[in-house]
Structure 1
Amino acid sequence: MKKIILSSIAAAVLGVSLNATVFATVNGEDVTDQDIAVLMRAMQGAKFETLPEDAKQKIVEQAIERKLLTSEAMKSGVEKDKDYAEALKRIKSDLALEVWMKKIFDGVKVSPQEVKDYYDKNADKFMQPATVKARHVLVKTEEEAKDVIKQLDGLSGQKLADKFIELATTKSTGPSGQGGGDLGWFAANQMVKPFADAAFALKKGEITKVPVQTQFGYHVILVEDTKAAEKATFETVKANIENGLKMEKFRVQVSEKAKKLRQNAKVTTK
């Protein structure tokens, strides 16, 4: 589900906090979390709080430099420049539109019943695919894979798991080898087809009896657990549903408003 995305300037203006965190002071002016937020928008998906300490310090240093450069720009008399005035006029127009649209969005209401009805009537959209939890031993040749299978022959339960982990750790050429071949949970579409076909054909506690060839080499697979396809619970998706319904209502309102304005406007295209 999509959310309204404000421009960096609009987000900075609307996100001003009265209790801003101060990271540094530059010539008497604070470098706050708002200054940090402007820089973090260029790092999509990253959160300042979760960055390593050295990365955080680099961001703070960039914010300090930005504060110094901004101050220098203002001292240069750039505000009297014609380009500055024209750019400021455009920014004011864009900001006015975005703030106005945000107010419309915030005013859109979606009832709990609408959310529940959408969930009940769109079951196919909330189906989670079947998944398996598996380990593998990846080797370069078919003979090596056959040898691994031979060493596992006759084992079951914890003895099979322990031996498999040992062989994965000592023989596997893949990056998962150091973790005992652990691949975690995955759906069929997350793996190359020959590997996925073999893994999903196994039951819990079973291994492949013949090597599985892919472009990466030859695999021996152990399935540790399986989960059937199931519908995501209402609680896990209701927030996304609500936001999606709200966005759709918002789009309809704005579209209808634009159509009415266009009917009464003089528009010429070139």
Structure 2
Amino acid sequence: MKHTFSILSLAVMTAFAIPAMAQQKAKEKPAAASAEGVLATVNGKTIPQGRADIMVRNQIAQGQQDGEQLRNAVREELIRREVLTQAAATKGLDKNAALMHQADLARQAVLIQAYLQEYVRANPVSEATVKAEYDKVKAGLGDKEYKARHILVKTEDKAKEIIGKLQVGEKFEDLAKDSEDPGSKDRGGDLGWSAPAQYVKPFSDALTKLEKGKFTPQPIRTDFGYHVIKLEDVRDLKVPPFEEAKAQIAQRLEQQTIAAHVNELRQKASVK
């Protein structure tokens, strides 16, 4: 397969992509020995071999096959980039303050990603922690899920007016067109299947007390406004087994760990 790259795609890829160590170890060729070598010299300016090694690693991690074609394509791309960089410098763009700020931001992004990856490796989320979180979430969801519709309005009087119309036989789906909830109004107020824990408490409390096919006789107030809720059906909740859910839970816990660490560093920083 022929390897072709655009200037822009490779620039973005090499500025921000730092493949996972597990992906690299299986596929990459050692780069340490050639990191100080020279890939090419363009108008007297050298291109480090290490730059090409990084680009090749990134491509291999994304599924490209290593080989002479890939390495030649990377070499040519780096030469083109150097030619363009030199052309930009002749126009004084390397002294443009706004562009230099963009370059600083790109450099920061690479360093931050590398730092956070190293932090995660040094502070892994254990499987026991993931399992405990899974059990907690599972217990919080309960054993039933509910298929509901709702109409959200701004005032209690408007909600009572809607309830009155429902009581005389008007269709819930038609009245939902006046709902303040843009995510469900065009679907007749349909919220799909959800466990009660996924709703705010006043809403879930009212929902679980309803009989199938019934709507709330009084408006339900939440921080979003006033709801008229209709319960359409109830079924047993099927929670994915731990083996299926653990990767997603581990990722979420990892993100929480990173957020807590960043917040800790921010709190300790001296800012004037």
Q: Tell me if both proteins adopt one fold, taking TM over 0.5 as the criterion.
A: no
TM-score (norm: length of structure 2): 0.42
TM-score (norm: length of structure 1): 0.42
